Amino acid sequence: MEFSGFEVDVPETFPVILTVLPGTGSNFGFTFSPSSGCAPFTSTFSPLITGGGAPVTYDWDFGNGNLFTGDTPPPQTFTQAGDHVVALTTSIGGYQLDQVELVSVNGNWCGDVEEPDIPLIGCTGSPDLYYVITDGNGDSYTSSTQDDVSGATWSGLGATLSVPPYSIAFFDEDPVSQDDALGTYNLTLGVPGTYPFSIAGGTVGSLMISETVLQVFHDTDIVQVFAAPGMTWTYDSLSQTLCLGDTALVSVTWFLDGDTIPNANGLCVQTNDPGSYWATGTNGFGCTGLSDTLVICPLITITSDEGILYTDNGFATYAWTFNGTPIAGADGAFIFAQGDGNYEITITTDDGCTVNATYTLITTSVSIEETTAAHLIIFPVPNDGRFTVRALGAAEGQAELQVMDLQGRVYATGQPRLAGDTSIDLDLGDVAPGTYLVRLQDANGTMMVRTIAVY
């Protein structure tokens, strides 16, 4: 769906070509998808900068209140409309040389003009120790010299080891004669810690190596969150009007019991019929929403006619009582009168309504009237499903005829036109034996009811 010139329903991915320039921090360090959507939506994130074997840490701030450290952050949900700044700090770690210690050295320092080897006496003096460390590019660094010592320690070095492999060579400094080589240790970096060595026949010591951060990248990007439509409604029971409150909605569809209500595309709808009302709506961002459901419960009444009490059919359940006592088996739209007294019907609907109606039956007071009131005559009784209905005293004009069973299932309907003493022939076909109810409503709305027995 397209609104205002941009599409929003399709998840979008923005591939990013990464060029890592150490220290600039202005490059994309991560990908994410989708980068925009209607609230709430969930996006997934992946880092792009790897350490090439060096330890890397990823510190995320998703701009939705969530922080995460690691290379596989959980999917992030954005509920607030607006631009969210997502920041990733990528820290590439490495090793640094903290300390070089020589416990002892071999005897190569001895026997020159600086430290002569005198017969019967032996070596005189002590070596003047320094080291040269060389990296993988062949670049080297020469340490300070510690004069006239048998061992030495260089500490607090903090030398980054970012170009492996490294070798470290030890020497005795001799001002006149050539410096004496005391051995070379080739360092294979693995984990931080102490690297002891014993080389060249007596040169013994250790290196202390720790982890450090070599490079840090800061990357930010924007996640764009569009506001979902507001789908809350208010209901005015007096005018039976249900209205959505979001005037930014550009499209609304109203539903009644799952069916679209014809021509109901505005913010308001009239709840003329009972049932479940809800709406879907779309705003200018193309974001859609679904409203809560408003259930309008039906109003029911009990009508009495010729020993039959009935109410509307089509509800989920029916339960009748007579003078407060449930009538066994009375789970349909009508019952036979049990005698004068108080009747109550309680119905439920599929959308959760429970509605009742009461009726007080007093036959003596209306018995005279009954004889003259409009009523039905049906014959033969009983019958095989084929019978004739005659409406006596009914108003002339188009009537509504219905035949149903005790459970409210409708077997026949018709709109006979009544004129004088009209006979209506009916054939229910192959129906189960039992009691059926015939209802006829004449043009004046007068309801006439009669039961028939079918064998």
Among 109, 131, 166, 170, binds Ca ion (CB under 5 A): 109
Q: Is 112 in the site for Ca ion (CB under 5 A)?
A: yes
Q: Is 182 in the site for Ca ion (CB under 5 A)?
A: no
Element (H, E) at 220: strand 203-226
Among 172, 219, 246, 405, binds Ca ion (CB under 5 A): 172
Instruction: Single out the segment in contact with Ca ion by CB under 5 A; choices: 66-74, 167-175, 231-239, 394-402.
Output: 167-175
CB of 146 to Ca ion, least distance (A): 11
Q: Is 135 in the site for Ca ion (CB under 5 A)?
A: no
Among 98, 180, 246, 442, binds Ca ion (CB under 5 A): 180
Output 172 or 246, the one with its CB closest to Ca ion. Answer: 172
Token couple for 440: 């006829």
Q: Is 108 in the site for Ca ion (CB under 5 A)?
A: no
The CA–CA distances, whole Å, from 52 to 15, 162, 302 equal 21, 12, 83
The Cα 248–Cα 12 span in angstroms is 25
Q: Is 115 in the site for Ca ion (CB under 5 A)?
A: yes
CB of 147 to Ca ion, least distance (A): 8
CB of 179 to Ca ion, least distance (A): 7
List the one residue out of 176, 207, 417, 451 whose CA is nearest residue 335: 451
Asked if 319 and 259 count as a contact pair (C-beta separation under 8 A), the reply is: no
Beta strand 410-414 pairing with 375-379: unpaired
Neighbour order of strands in the sheet with 434-441:
410-414, 400-405, 434-441, 447-454
Neighbours of 450 (CB within 10 A): 20
Q: Taking the CA of residue 151 as centre, how many other CA atoms within 13 Å lie in the half-sphere pointing to its CB?
A: 11
Instruction: Single out the segment in contact with Ca ion by CB under 5 A; choices: 23-31, 150-158, 180-188, 434-442.
Output: 180-188
CB of 188 to Ca ion, least distance (A): 30
Output 175 or 339, the one with its CB closest to Ca ion. Answer: 175
How open is the CA angle 156-162-165, to the nearest 5 degrees? 100
Per the DSSP assignment, residues forming a β-bridge with 326 are 321
CB of 172 to Ca ion, least distance (A): 4
Length of the chain counted residue by residue: 455
Q: How many residues bind Ca ion (CB under 5 A)?
A: 8
How open is the CA angle 352-355-357, to the nearest 5 degrees? 165
Output 98 or 128, the one with its CB closest to Ca ion. Answer: 128
Q: Which of residues 204-233 bind Ca ion (CB under 5 A)?
A: none
List the one residue out of 337, 338, 335, 339 whose CA is nearest residue 347: 335
Instruction: Single out the segment in contact with Ca ion by CB under 5 A; choices: 87-95, 103-111, 254-262, 264-272.
Output: 103-111
154 contact partners, CB below 8 Å, separation of at least 6? 99, 100, 101, 131, 143, 144, 146
CB of 178 to Ca ion, least distance (A): 9
Token couple for 310: 């009935």
Neighbours of 109 (CB within 10 A): 25
List the one residue out of 453, 407, 454 whose CA is nearest residue 430: 454
Q: Is 128 in the site for Ca ion (CB under 5 A)?
A: yes
CB of 110 to Ca ion, least distance (A): 7
Instruction: Single out the segment in contact with Ca ion by CB under 5 A; choices: 70-78, 102-110, 288-296, 344-352.
Output: 102-110
Neighbours of 299 (CB within 10 A): 9
The Cα 97–Cα 394 span in angstroms is 110
Among 114, 219, 221, 246, binds Ca ion (CB under 5 A): 114
Output 105 or 452, the one with its CB closest to Ca ion. Answer: 105
The Cα 56–Cα 47 span in angstroms is 11
Asked if 279 and 304 count as a contact pair (C-beta separation under 8 A), the reply is: no
Q: Which of residues 15-74 bind Ca ion (CB under 5 A)?
A: none
CB of 174 to Ca ion, least distance (A): 4
Instruction: Single out the segment in contact with Ca ion by CB under 5 A; choices: 164-172, 269-277, 333-341, 352-360.
Output: 164-172
Instruction: Single out the segment in contact with Ca ion by CB under 5 A; choices: 111-119, 223-231, 290-298, 337-345.
Output: 111-119
Output 179 or 442, the one with its CB closest to Ca ion. Answer: 179
- Cα separation of the two ends of the chain: 60
CB of 201 to Ca ion, least distance (A): 16
Output 105 or 399, the one with its CB closest to Ca ion. Answer: 105
CB of 109 to Ca ion, least distance (A): 4
CB of 153 to Ca ion, least distance (A): 18
Among 174, 211, 344, 351, binds Ca ion (CB under 5 A): 174
Output 117 or 306, the one with its CB closest to Ca ion. Answer: 117
Asked if 433 and 409 count as a contact pair (C-beta separation under 8 A), the reply is: no
Residues forming the site for Ca ion (CB under 5 A): 109, 112, 114-115, 128, 172, 174, 180
